[in-house]
Amino acid sequence: MTMMWWAVVGLGVAASVEDFRTRHVPNWITVAGCLVGLALAAFTGWGSLGMALTGGALGFLVLLPLYLCGAMGGGDVKLMAAFGTLLGPMGILSAAVFCAAFGGAGALVARVRGARAIPYAPAIAAGVWMVLVGGSS
């Protein structure tokens, strides 16, 4: 496994555990994810660094409307940005589709069980992992 794989898996596990435990994705996790993504990209050149920055911006922007309307926490938005630095723009856009599917399934299960909200970091991590395993990034 490459360093990027380890970073994606570690970021997803750390964020999911914290979100399940506290219903919060702390900044130290998302900032560390962004820094690792940017550092890994910087080692391969300016072009890769530009792709990581673009992926981070797209990851942030794709979930920002949900945060602004109160449907999602800020930690989830920042987590998607961190994953964007690791996957790049095409990878994070593909992951967003899977994240929505996993999040929708989780919300449906929660609704059936009478819960009003779900921790969304696990859905984000699962969507990103699908892209990583499928090779779409």
How much is the average pLDDT of 44-49? 89
How much is the average pLDDT of 52-70? 97
pTM: 0.94
Identify the pLDDT of residue 115.
Answer: 87
Identify the pLDDT of residue 100.
Answer: 96
In this model, does residue 135 exceed pLDDT 80?
no
Range of the structural domain that residue 43 is part of: 3-134
- Total domains in the chain come to 1
Do residues 82 and 117 lie in contact, with contact meaning Cβ atoms separated by under 8 Å?
A: no
Identify the pLDDT of residue 34.
Answer: 97
- Summarised one tens digit per residue, pLDDT across range 71-113 is 999 999 999 999 999 999 999 999 999 999 999 999 999 999 9
Q: Which residues contact 63 (CB under 8 A, 6 or more apart)?
A: 72, 76, 77, 80, 96
Percent of the chain residues past pLDDT 70, beyond the cut: 98
